[in-house]
Structure formats: C-alpha cells, structure tokens
Amino acid sequence: MTVWEAAPRRRRARRRHLSRGDRVVLTLMAGVPLLLTLSFVWVPALLSIVLSFSSWPGIGGVSSIKWVGLQNYHTIFTIYPQFYPALEHNLIWLAVFFALPAPAGLFLAVQLDKQIRFSRIYQSVLFLPVVLSLALIGFMTELIFSPTQGLLNNLTGHAGQNDMIDWLGNPHLNIWAVLLMACWRQTGYVMIMYLAGLKSVDPSLKEAAALDGAGQWQTFRHVVWPALRPINVVVLVITVIESLRAFDIVYVINQGTNGLELLSVLVTDNIVGEASRIGFGSALATILLLISMAFIVPYLISTFRKDGQE
C-alpha cells in the first residue's frame, strides 16, 4: 500500500509552492465544477424538496404555489395506489441487480481476464448491450416477449389463444421479463468495470501467489478480490443508481403501468404531463432521493473512513 502513503505526502509538499497562477487555475478547476454541481444538481434537488410541501400546477408564477405541509406525503402513503407497487418494484430491481448482474459480471470478467482465445470477441459480444439505450432494450423486450407476436411465445408454442403466456400484460410476469432484459445489459456494464479493475491488478502478485502454491480460487479470494475493493465501490454505486433510475425500458413497454410501476415513472407521470402536479411529483422525487441516499451514503461513509485510517 505504498501508493496510498506516498500520495498525501506529495500533495502536502506541493501546496507550499503554489504560485499565483497555480492558485487561479486550481480555483477555476475546483470552482467551475462546484458552481455547475451546485446550480444544476443541488439547487434543483433542494428546490424539489421545498416544492414537495406545496401544491402547484406549474401554471402561472411562483405566486400560485400553495403551501400544504405534509399533505403530499400523506396522500402518497395513504391513498396513492401506485406508490407501494412502485416502491416494491424498485426494491426488487435493486435486489435483482445485486444478485445477478453484479456476480455474473465479475465472473465473466475473471474468465475473460485469463487471456483465453477470442477474448476480444467475447468481450465485445458481452459489452454490446451496454451500447444500446434502455429504451431500445424496451423495444427488444416487446419483440421477444409480446404475447401474440413475440419470439419467445412463438418458439415455445405459447402464442395461441388458449395457452398464451401473457409476458407483458400479466403484472406478476412482466416485471421479470423486463428485469431479465435489464440484467442482460447491466451484466456487460459490470463486467467492463471489473475487467478494467482486473487489468490493474499487479500480475506479479498473482505469480507470487501461484509460487506459494495457491489454487485459482485461493488466488482470487486472497489476492485479486482485496485488490478489487475500489472497483467494488464503483459497482455498488452504479448498481444502486442504475436500479433506481430505471425508467426508459418500462416506459417504452406500457408507460410504467400495470405491474411495471417504478418511482421514476410516477415522478414523470405527475410532473411532465398535460397538467402537472408539481408538488405531488416533487414529493415522490424526494422519496426517491431519500432511498438512494439510504443506500449510498452509509457505504460511502464507511469506505471513506477505512481509506482515512489506512
């Protein structure tokens, strides 16, 4: 871990010799992104939280905003029938993304890292879905799972009227059909992350392990896996983000209704539309924000704490 120790010392040493030009450059380099982040991420996020306590059709000026306290949240938790299914689906999405694409991506990455023949071809094939947008994958889901015209039902002979499997219309099935396609894409994404991580693992470590008589699994468990820790944080964060921001694929299929409700869809339904319920939609968005915070913040805190101790 020499790299970790050297870095802060070097940084400290350099700070003393900052010229005026350096200071200007650094201020600009830190200040401009900070300003952009503040104005396009934090201020809108805070405004959303503020608006979530209001009732506002989005028509007319700020004067037409009516403050209603916690009423939007009360409505969401008591009489908004789409909320609990959406919450449940988001959590299922999160659980499935952790259970399937994350380990599968790691597994594939480790296999591809072994310098097998045609590795590049496998890599491109597995990474290909990541290039496609989720909206496009939504269209592909329809082509595959459509009950009468889809590939799957026609191949398995379930497209007839009496034995049809209603992959897209049955609310107990469609979420899994969609998740399968989403996982297909996510696996390639995770794989590329891990592949990049594995390339940076010093080969001499593995050689040393091999000389010590470690088997494949032992090498992975005790040498490679610990070295992948920074990548794990990245994978965790993208898994949480990707599963909470899931939207396009279900919106393409049925606008996120009938078994495909997601919090992101409910936010869109209420805010972007012929008549907007901006306050209500903001309350939903705030709930989504809190959920993502609940997953990401504790992990990041513990990670930074460990980094600080080293």
Partner 1 sequence: MQRFSTGNQTFSRRSMLRGALMGAGALALPPLLSACGGSGSSGGSSSGSKVVTYGSNAAVPQPKGAYETLFAQAQKATGYTVDVNWVDHNTFQQNITTYLQGNPQDAFDWFAGERMQFFAAQGLCDQIDDVWAKIGGNYTDAMKAQSKGTDGHYYFVPFDYYPWAVYYSKSLWAAKGYSEPTTWDEYIALAKKMKGDGLIPIAFTDKDGWPAMGTFDYLNMRMNGYDFHIDLMRNGTNWNTPQVSAVFEQWKQLIPYYSPGFLGLTWQEGAAQLLNKQAGMMVLGLDQIGTIFTGAKADDLGFFAFPEINPSYGQDSVEAPIDGMMLSKSPKNRAGAVALLEYLGTAPAQQLWLAADPADIATANGVDTSKYTQPQTDSVTLIQKASHISQFMDRDTRPDFADPVMLPAIQQFLNSPGSVSSILSGIDKQAKLIWASNG
Residues that bind partner 1 (CB under 8 A): 40, 44, 47-48, 51, 55-62, 64, 66, 68, 75, 79-82, 146-149, 161-162, 164, 166-171, 174, 253-255, 257-258, 261, 269-280
C-beta closer to partner 1: residue 219 or 282: 282
Q: Least distance (Å) from partner 1 to the CB of residue 24?
A: 25
C-beta closer to partner 1: residue 239 or 270: 270
Q: Least distance (Å) from partner 1 to the CB of residue 8?
A: 37
C-beta closer to partner 1: residue 80 or 127: 80
C-beta closer to partner 1: residue 171 or 303: 171
C-beta closer to partner 1: residue 59 or 116: 59
Q: Least distance (Å) from partner 1 to the CB of residue 44?
A: 7
C-alpha–C-alpha distance, residues 255 and 250, integer Å: 6
Q: Least distance (Å) from partner 1 to the CB of residue 164?
A: 5
What lies within 8 Å, CB to CB, of 4 at 6+ separation is 307, 310
C-beta closer to partner 1: residue 102 or 181: 181
C-beta closer to partner 1: residue 244 or 284: 284
CA-nearest of 187, 209, 226 to 109 is: 187
C-beta closer to partner 1: residue 154 or 258: 258
C-alpha–C-alpha distance, residues 193 and 110, integer Å: 11
What lies within 8 Å, CB to CB, of 291 at 6+ separation is 90, 244, 263
Q: Least distance (Å) from partner 1 to the CB of residue 245?
A: 15
CA-nearest of 126, 96, 97 to 109 is: 126
Would you report the helix, strand and coil content of the chain in percent, each value rounded to 5?
75, 0, 25
Q: Least distance (Å) from partner 1 to the CB of residue 137?
A: 18
Relative orientation angle of helices 229-244 and 174-199, to the nearest 10 degrees: 160
69: left (phi over 0), alpha (psi -120 to 50) or beta: left
Taking residue 164's Cβ as centre, other Cβ atoms within 10 Å add up to 14
Q: Least distance (Å) from partner 1 to the CB of residue 48?
A: 8
Q: Least distance (Å) from partner 1 to the CB of residue 130?
A: 24
